[in-house]
């Protein structure tokens, strides 16, 4: 361990903070690897531009370890180098899971005994988003990675509207199906399309239904920030790696367990 890394570790122990640096070849060496595309033709000048950008990002020294043309006038780069930034783990803010993970059997039991009817779920990809892999992984019976989707749960009534669903269509279907929850998957994120679509959806439901009759609004996708629920007007945001079991457990928590406790 270098003298600097040792001083950092000692300081962390004394202050009670958890301070870490990136790891590359040796612990605490600060080495990182980043990738990006520049709108330039691949040549020596382009590689120099990539190094300059990396330097401005705080990577110094920086080395281009991979460069490949990406069509006419574009180059993809991978840059490796050192940063001096420290991370305080105690200052990291994340959304922790605040509900118990239930088995499919337990989810069905709670719904049957406490709700005494099937729990209605409507899912869709809204706007121009045609990527159904996310919503299908959660809703379809085949699920993902060996875990069955919500269609497998006998006490859930699932309506999968598929891709490129307009917000008015989603609202009307939710109304017709008497949805307890609406699940929206957004994969397309260019120009923050996922954020614009989500805000449009939440505004439409607020306008169409009074607070006591609105379904639970849940969105998910790889580039959502899970802390933005209030800003986007939804009840929950799920990020990458979410499983059907997590979603089912949350539905039970939010629609049955939590509401019963508040009654």
Query: Which tens digit of pLDDT belongs to each residue from 152-209?
Result: 999 999 999 999 999 999 999 999 999 999 999 998 788 888 999 999 999 999 999 9
Q: Is residue 43 pLDDT above 80, yes or no?
A: yes
Q: Is residue 4 pLDDT above 80, yes or no?
A: no
Crossing angle (nearest 10°) for helices 193-208 and 167-176:
40
Q: Is residue 130 pLDDT above 80, yes or no?
A: yes
pLDDT-derived band at 88 (thresholds 50, 70, 90) equals: very high
pLDDT, residue 205, reads 98
148: tokens are 């069955």
pLDDT-derived band at 93 (thresholds 50, 70, 90) equals: confident
Lowest mean pLDDT among 94-98, 99-103, 178-182: 94-98
pLDDT-derived band at 110 (thresholds 50, 70, 90) equals: very high
Q: Is the dihedral of CA 222, 224, 226, 229 positive or negative?
A: negative
Measured distance CA(208)–CA(190) in Å, rounded: 28
Measured distance CA(137)–CA(149) in Å, rounded: 6
Burial environment of residue 217 by CB neighbours within 10 A (0 to 12, 13 to 18, 19 or more): buried
Phi first, then psi: what are they for 164, rounded to 5°?
A: 55, 45
Question: What three-state secondary structure class fits 216?
Answer: strand
pLDDT-derived band at 263 (thresholds 50, 70, 90) equals: low
Average pLDDT score, the chain: 91
Residue-wise pLDDT tens digits, 8-37: 444 444 456 689 999 998 999 999 999 999
Residue bearing the bigger pLDDT, 257 or 147: 147
195: tokens are 């954020």
* Cis peptide upstream of residue 61 (ω within 30 degrees of 0): yes
**Contact criterion met (CB below 8 Å) for 23 and 90:** no
pLDDT, residue 2, reads 44
Measured distance CA(90)–CA(12) in Å, rounded: 11
pLDDT, residue 262, reads 56
pLDDT, residue 240, reads 87
Q: Name the β-bridge partners of 122.
A: 159, 182
pLDDT, residue 261, reads 63
Q: In what order do the strands lie in the sheet with 156-160?
A: 156-160, 119-124, 181-185, 216-220, 236-238
The catalytic residue positions are 142
For the chain, how are helix, strand and coil distributed in percent, rounded to 5? 40, 20, 40
Question: What three-state secondary structure class fits 224?
Answer: coil
Percentage of the chain exceeding pLDDT 90: 78
Residue-wise pLDDT tens digits, 202-235: 999 999 999 889 999 999 998 899 999 999 999 9
Alpha helix (H) residue ranges in 20-153: 44-56, 104-110, 133-139
Separate counts of helices (H) and strands (E) for the chain:
9, 10
pLDDT-derived band at 258 (thresholds 50, 70, 90) equals: confident
Q: 223-235 burial by CB neighbour count: b if 16+ within 10 A, else e?
A: ebeeeebeebbbb
**Contact criterion met (CB below 8 Å) for 31 and 82:** yes
Measured distance CA(44)–CA(48) in Å, rounded: 6
Question: What three-state secondary structure class fits 18?
Answer: coil
């Amino acid at each position: 361990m270098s003298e600097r890394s040792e001083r950092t570790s000692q300081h962390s122990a004394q202050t009670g903070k958890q301070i870490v640096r990136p790891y590359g070849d040796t612990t605490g060496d600060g080495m990182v690897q980043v990738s990006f595309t520049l709108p330039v033709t691949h040549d020596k000048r382009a590689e120099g531009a990539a190094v300059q950008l990396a330097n401005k990002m705080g990577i110094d020294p920086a080395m281009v370890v991979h460069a490949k043309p990406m069509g006419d006038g574009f180059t993809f780069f991978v840059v490796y180098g050192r940063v001096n930034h420290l991370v305080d783990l105690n200052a990291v803010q994340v959304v922790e899971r605040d509900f118990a993970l239930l088995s499919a059997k337990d989810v069905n039991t709670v719904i049957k005994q406490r709700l005494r009817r099937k729990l209605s779920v409507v899912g869709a990809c809204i706007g121009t988003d045609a990527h159904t892999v996310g919503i299908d992984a959660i809703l379809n019976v085949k699920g993902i990675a060996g875990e069955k989707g919500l269609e497998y749960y006998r006490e859930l009534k699932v309506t999968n509207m598929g891709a490129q669903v307009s917000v008015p269509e989603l609202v009307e279907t939710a109304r017709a199906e008497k949805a307890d929850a609406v699940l929206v998957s957004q994969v397309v994120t260019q120009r923050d399309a996922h954020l614009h679509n989500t805000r449009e959806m939440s505004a439409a439901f607020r306008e169409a239904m009074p607070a006591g009759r609105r379904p639970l609004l849940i969105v998910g996708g790889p580039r959502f920030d899970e802390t933005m629920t209030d800003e986007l007007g939804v009840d929950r945001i799920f990020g990458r790696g979410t499983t059907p079991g997590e979603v089912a457990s949350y539905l039970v928590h939010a629609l049955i367990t939590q509401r019963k406790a508040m009654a």
